[in-house]
Amino acid sequence: MTETEIEAKVLELVADQLGLARAEVSRESDFDKLGDSLDKTELMMAFEDAFDVSIPDETAAGVRTIGDAVALIREHIAAKQAEV
Amino acid sequence: MSKIQRTITLRRVVVTGMGALTDIGLSAPATWAAMKEGKNGVDTITAFHMPEDWPVRFAGQVKGWDPAPLIDFKEQKRMDRFAMMAIGAADEAARDSGFDFKSGDPYRHGVMIGSGVGGILSTEEAHGKLLQGGVRKVSPFTVPRLMVNAAAGQVSIRFNLRGPNCATATACASSGHAIGTAYHAIQRGDADVVLAGGSEAAVGQLCIGTFAAMKALSTRNDTPTIASRPFDKDRDGFVLAEGAAVLVLEDLEHAKARGAHIYAELLGYGVCGDAYHIAAPDEHGSGAFMAMTFALRDAQLNATDVDYINAHGTSTPLGDAAEVSSVKRLFGDHAYKLCMSSTKSMTGHGLGAAGGIESIAAIMAVTENIVPPTINLDNPSEGFDLNFVAKTAQERPVRIALNNTFGFGGHNVSLCFGQFED
């Protein structure tokens, strides 16, 4: 999965879960501005489901923007593939 | 320190707005109109799959109500259906009152909204996910959804109510206590306007299954539309129902100053506990007797002043008998002059919402001088010889009406509403 594909999927999930138009979210969007901590927690769970990865809470705490999330998911996918 | 001295002049409390979502109407006027027509709201459950081998497969469901115009997608995720329905009823009540909750001091505006089982649908859903996928699959919105006080909290946010804010949880008496607590707050001067009532959205497998396990529910699966039959000799338990109802209670002078329409006055609030059994009244209905006695004392009225009793009347064998017995003893000869109906015959039993829904019936009875009926009452039980307003509404003068609600746990509430006379 390429970074562009990951980003597209993440943007789609964020827009859907927060009831926003796609144009309202971008790589630079800040989770704290998009919603509260509960929204962010729910999104992290959605990312785990969608990409079949497990993101530890400590790591998730450092994610500030959608771009951060995309990078983190990419790392986790790569690490998983390396294991296989 | 000088000795504390307190002298409180109690203020009068009036009803200036009403809102409701029930299985017989999606507003307070629609619910009242349906009650006058004797409409039934109970039917086979359609909201979710009900296995054929379940002992109870019917309920009163609020159908056709869409929260979306009031509550956006993001907010809906934070709310169980019971909190959304509370917002629906509160929004209607607020609009009906004509009071602008954005005006004035928000610390003078309060909310008391009770519920029997709160966000039980969310509890059930979360537990399913926990068992299936483990703790990491549980929604972070679960706690804000399932809290029994979530409706009061959400309504306070919606209307910026920063005064007294509380949720009562006394099972089927929750609304009665909420309305009574709001009445005390306004009487004492702690608040000028309070949104008060109850909400319940418990029609799910967990709630049906657990009440069925108690043998508390009617099992008339083949004839659900006639299952709720308070006072009838063939009654076999209550029918679970969804619903929400909210009143705008207001200090009389505050209401007059803004030229508000006044439906009725809340004259009395009587409460007591059974200290007897966790889920049954004593056979004489001592709790009902004392709650009505205290409501009349608070209202400074005599038993002979009462024209109508909106009974708790849930259609259970024990509960109805105890209530009828208490009314006969308390009112004596007058018991045969007043009338007593159970609107649960139409709506089913909305648990924590019941007292709110039925307060609307009592308020409209004194407003229009019409008593709503007890439908499905074909053959009253032996000794049940009062005017239960069987089948059809009756037009008659109603100056004073009581609304009774009694909850598991032995919580008894009687509210006394009267025609407003300045």
Q: Fill in the DSSP letter of residue B375.
A: T
Predicted local confidence at residue B55, as pLDDT:
95
Closest CA in chain B for residue A39:
B140
Put simply, the answer to whether B78 touches A35 (Cβ < 8 Å) is: no
Nearest to B146 by CA among B130, B158, B164, B162: B130
**Residue B2: helix, strand or coil by DSSP?**
coil
Q: Note whether B397 contacts A: Cβ–Cβ < 8 A.
A: no
- In this structure, are residues B369 and B397 in contact, taking their beta carbons and an 8 Å threshold? yes
CA-based nearest residue in chain A for residue B144: A38
Tens digit of each residue's pLDDT (9 = 90 or more) over B368-418: 999 999 999 999 999 999 999 999 999 999 999 999 999 999 999 999 999
Inter-chain contact B144–A19, Cβ cutoff 8 Å?
A: no
Distance from the Cα of B23 to chain A's closest Cα (Å) equals 30
Do the chains contact at A39 and B137, CB–CB below 8 Å?
no
Neighbours of B365 (CB within 10 A): 32
**Positions of B marked catalytic:** 172, 312, 349
Q: Give A15's pLDDT tier (boundaries 50, 70, 90).
A: very high
**Which residues of chain A lie closer than 8 angstroms to B139, CB-CB?**
42, 45
Contact between B397 and B307 under an 8 Å Cβ cutoff? The reply is: yes
- Count of Cβ atoms closer than 10 Å to residue B76 Cβ: 17
What pLDDT does residue B7 have?
87
Out of B72, B73, B139, the one facing A42 most closely (by C-beta) is: B139
User: Chain A residue closest to B72 (CA)?
Assistant: A19
* Residue B140 to chain A, least CA–CA distance (Å): 6
Contacts of B140 in chain A (CB under 8 A): 37-38, 41-42, 45
Mutation target for B interface from A18, A45, A52: give the one with most B CBs within 10 A.
A45
Pick from B88, B142, B143, B95: which is nearest to B113 by CA? B88
Which pLDDT does position B70 carry in this prediction? Answer: 97
Quote the distance between the C-alpha of residue B203 and its chain's center. 16
pLDDT in tens, B69-123: 999 999 999 999 999 999 999 999 999 999 999 999 999 999 999 999 999 999 9
Q: At B400, which helix (H) or strand (E)?
A: strand B400-407
Residues 3-42 of A with CB under 8 A from B: 18-19, 35, 37-39, 41-42
Alpha-carbon distance of A41 to A39, in angstroms, equals: 5
- Going by C-alpha positions, the residue among B38, B39, B18, B37 that lies closest to residue B29 is B18
How many C-beta atoms lie closer than 10 Å to residue B422's C-beta? 7
Interface list for B 131-150 with A (CB within 8 A): 136-137, 139-141, 144
SS3 A33: helix
ipTM for the complex? 0.90
Nearest CA in chain A to B68: A19
Query: Any idea what DSSP says for residue B47?
Result: S
Chain pair A-B, CB pairs under 8 angstroms: 21
For chain B, 422 residues long, give each residue's pLDDT as a single digit of tens: 678 888 889 999 999 999 999 999 999 999 999 999 999 999 999 988 888 899 999 999 999 999 999 999 999 999 999 999 999 999 999 999 999 999 999 999 999 999 999 999 999 999 999 999 999 999 999 999 999 999 999 999 999 999 999 999 999 999 999 999 999 999 999 999 999 999 999 999 999 999 999 999 999 999 999 999 999 999 999 999 999 999 999 999 999 999 999 999 999 999 999 999 999 988 889 999 999 999 999 999 999 999 999 999 999 999 999 999 999 999 999 999 999 999 999 999 999 999 999 999 999 999 999 999 999 999 999 999 999 999 999 999 999 999 999 999 999 999 999 999 99
Closest Cα partner for B246 from B83, B17, B69?
B17
Q: What is the DSSP string of B329-382?
A: HHHGGGGGTSEEE-THHHH-B-GGGHHHHHHHHHHHHHHHTEEPPBTT-SSBPT
**Contact (CB<8Å) B136/A45:** yes
What is the SS3 assignment for B371?
A: strand
Query: Minimal Cα–Cα distance from A23 to chain B, Å?
Result: 17
CB contact under 8 Å between B74 and A42, yes or no, is: no
* A82 or B63, greater pLDDT: B63
Find, in chain B, the residue whose alpha carbon is nearest to that of A40: B140
How far is the C-alpha of B388 from the C-alpha of B328, rounded, in Å?
A: 13
